[in-house]
Amino acid sequence: MMRWLVNSLVAVALSITASAWAGAYEDGLVAYMKGDYATASSYFREAAEGGNSWGQAMLAGMYEQGKGLPRNEQEAVKWYREAAEQGNAVAQNNLGVAYTTGHGVPKNDREAASWYRKAAEQGYDEAQYNLGTIYYCGDGVPQNETEALKWYLKSAEQGLAIAQFNLGVMYFIGAGVPADPMEAYFWWLLAGASGDEDARQNMEMVETQLTIAQLAAAQERARKWKRKLP
């Protein structure tokens, strides 16, 4: 079973270094972390109207989630677009999700693919995952398992568990690559370590197809891989 789209914002925004914060946007993050969403939305609006792309993206997210503001998908898309057109990769990805799902805009897979690609080429792991998914499914782009594998790999190498899970599926069934149960086990091992229960179940299934030496080699490779992550 393959997994579908991901759309997130707050965790990424909070990972931006303090040097990137400015005025109303920083105040908005502080209020958001305290759970004062009404105050946070006010600060984010001030930052957004001043042209701060992260303020725009956070304001969009609050409209999308209905936090501190009435839920309004059209307003969410408006502000995601403002941020996306400034090159904000998270907003580009989330705008792509809106086009894929038809939330706040008419569903348009080709437009979604365009925004995913913009964000993916900036190295944003969730957009790389989403671009891989639309290549796998052939939504808005010609179906291409090799391209799907490429983008899943880029995302998985950054540690995104859902991409690791799907990459494991592709190696197991031989989609875009020769079937390789040991490689599938490796990626499911990583996803499982991040708490993915489906990956853990798949590991148990594929363990019966591998030798003790192969299992040990995959586990050692996973340990070394995790030490390389920031």
pLDDT digits (tens, 9 = 90+) for 120-146: 999 999 999 999 999 999 999 999 999
- Evaluate if residue 19 carries a pLDDT over 60: no
Tell me the CA end-to-end span of the chain in Å, nearest whole number: 30
Q: How confident is the model at residue 7 (pLDDT cuts 50, 70, 90)?
A: low
State the alpha helices, DSSP H only, in the chain.
10-15, 24-33, 37-49, 53-65, 73-84, 89-101, 109-120, 125-137, 145-156, 161-173, 181-193, 197-207, 212-228
State residue 12's pLDDT score: 53
Q: What is the pLDDT of residues 172-210, one digit of tens each?
A: 999 999 999 999 999 999 999 999 999 999 999 999 999
State residue 80's pLDDT score: 96
Enumerate the domain spans of the chain.
1-158, 163-230
State residue 23's pLDDT score: 87
Mean pLDDT for 84-94 is: 95
Task: State the chain's mean pLDDT as an integer.
Answer: 91
Give the separation between CA 139 and CA 142, rounded to whole angstroms: 7
> In the CATH scheme, what architecture does the domain 1-158 have?
Alpha Horseshoe (1.25)
